[in-house]
């Protein structure tokens, strides 16, 4: 559970950490969209090198970013199995009844794994380089136009800030409960699947009780201090974009341009390399 990037801030004081949170949120959303337009392995390599470059200049441990993929490992395996065994288009490699393995199916499964992995790692960088307060402040600024339709922007921002703030706390609480249950003889790593599911119940009940208790204490603390989400609240820190944010926008825009050129203007980096080397990997 410590491998989840959400709510975990890794302070290093790097240039990425000092970027305007609004710019980081916009660029992260752009990255999440543009990653679905990647079609060639060369472009996947370019995106991976881009992420490595960002991780290095942000001084975040590469292993911490890679561990964020563990949170979706089941989804990766499940997606790969579906695409490998049930993707029926292309050159057939093996066939057992309704199960058909094709070269294009393997190719599609590998690309899907790469896409999801890069997507998770890219979003984790935003969490590692931005505090929950910075993220919520940036979201509140970006959602400001919704105030004209009487949308409670500040209330939503406060809810997001509290949720992100308590994710590491709840994870730590879960670890303590698991260790306490193991000390009492509980087994979580052995037995049948149904037995493991039943073993989770003694963890969830005290975790929910602890969460409700913390929520009540926080509500009382806010009420005691006369907190009110008024529309005219002032800020101690003003968000200002600078030349570093402009450079970050240019770099991410260049990455998006390369991806779109490869997809829509038929650069086809993979095909260009195959033709240059005289390969025909998929029998197309």
Predicted confidence at residue 199, as pLDDT, reads 72
How many other CB atoms sit within 10 Å of the CB of residue 249? 16
Average pLDDT over residues 239-255: 87
Residue where the block lists tokens 């970027």: 19
Backbone angles phi, psi at 101, to 5 degrees: -105, 120
Average pLDDT over residues 126-155: 81
- 25 contacts 138 by C-beta, under 8 angstroms: yes
CA 142 – CA 130 distance, rounded (Å) = 16
Q: Reply yes or no on whether the pLDDT at 267 is more than 70.
A: no
Instruction: Convert 108-121 to b/e letters by CB count within 10 Å (16 or more is b).
Output: bbebbbbbbbbbbb
Contacts of 106 (CB under 8 A, 6+ apart): 84, 93
Average pLDDT over residues 205-217: 85
Token output for 14: 């790097």
CA 256 – CA 163 distance, rounded (Å) = 31
Average pLDDT over residues 253-258: 90
Contacts of 40 (CB under 8 A, 6+ apart): 262, 268, 269, 270, 271
CA 144 – CA 235 distance, rounded (Å) = 15
CA 214 – CA 231 distance, rounded (Å) = 27
Token output for 121: 């790692």
Residue ranges covered by each domain of the chain: 1-151+237-284, 153-228
Predicted confidence at residue 250, as pLDDT, reads 93
Q: Give the pLDDT confidence of 161-210 residue by residue, as tens digits.
A: 787 777 777 878 888 888 887 777 766 666 666 766 677 777 888 888 88
Residue where the block lists tokens 């931005």: 130
Predicted confidence at residue 251, as pLDDT, reads 92
Q: Reply yes or no on whether the pLDDT at 243 is more than 80.
A: yes
Q: Reply yes or no on whether the pLDDT at 12 is more than 70.
A: yes
Q: Reply yes or no on whether the pLDDT at 156 is more than 50.
A: yes
Q: What is the pTM of this model?
A: 0.73
- The pairing of strands 99-102 and 92-96 is antiparallel
* Biggest distance spanned by C-alpha atoms of the chain: 74
Q: Give the pLDDT confidence of 20-34 residue by residue, as tens digits.
A: 888 999 999 999 999
Q: Give the pLDDT confidence of 38-90 residue by residue, as tens digits.
A: 888 888 888 999 999 999 998 888 888 888 787 778 888 888 777 777 666 66
Q: Reply yes or no on whether the pLDDT at 4 is more than 80.
A: no
Predicted confidence at residue 283, as pLDDT, reads 47
Q: Reply yes or no on whether the pLDDT at 282 is more than 60.
A: no
Average pLDDT over residues 111-140: 85
CA 73 – CA 71 distance, rounded (Å) = 6
Contacts of 73 (CB under 8 A, 6+ apart): none
For 191, which DSSP code? S
Token output for 20: 């305007």
Predicted confidence at residue 284, as pLDDT, reads 45
Predicted confidence at residue 202, as pLDDT, reads 77
Predicted confidence at residue 253, as pLDDT, reads 92
CA 262 – CA 188 distance, rounded (Å) = 48
Where helices occur in the chain by DSSP H, the ranges are 21-34, 41-58, 62-67, 73-86, 103-129, 132-142, 153-183, 193-224, 243-264, 269-277
């Amino acid at each position: 559970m410590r491998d989840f990037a959400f709510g975990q801030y890794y302070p290093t004081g790097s240039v990425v950490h000092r970027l305007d949170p609004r710019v980081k949120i916009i660029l992260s959303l752009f990255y999440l969209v543009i990653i679905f337009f990647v079609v060639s392995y060369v472009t996947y390599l370019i995106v991976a090198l881009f992420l490595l470059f960002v991780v290095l200049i942000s001084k975040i441990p590469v292993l911490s970013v890679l561990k964020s993929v563990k949170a979706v490992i089941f989804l990766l395996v499940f997606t790969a199995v579906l695409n490998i065994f049930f993707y029926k288009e292309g050159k057939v490699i093996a066939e057992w009844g309704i199960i058909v393995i094709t070269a294009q199916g393997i190719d599609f499964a590998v690309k899907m794994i790469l896409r999801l992995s890069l997507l998770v790692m890219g979003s984790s960088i935003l969490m590692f380089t931005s505090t929950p307060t910075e993220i919520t402040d940036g979201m509140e600024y970006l959602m400001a136009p919704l105030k004209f339709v009487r949308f409670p922007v500040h209330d939503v921002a406060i809810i997001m800030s509290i949720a992100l703030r308590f994710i590491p706390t709840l994870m730590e609480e879960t670890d303590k409960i698991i260790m306490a249950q193991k000390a009492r003889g509980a087994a979580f790593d052995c037995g049948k699947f149904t037995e493991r599911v039943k073993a989770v119940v003694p963890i969830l009940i005290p975790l929910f009780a602890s969460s409700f208790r913390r929520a009540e204490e926080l509500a009382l603390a806010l009420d005691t201090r006369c907190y009110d989400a008024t529309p005219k609240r002032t800020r101690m820190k003003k968000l200002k974009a600078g030349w570093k944010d402009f450079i970050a926008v240019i770099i991410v825009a260049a990455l998006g341009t390369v991806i779109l050129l490869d997809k829509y203007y038929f650069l086809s980096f993979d095909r260009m390399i195959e033709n240059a080397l005289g390969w025909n990997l998929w029998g197309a």
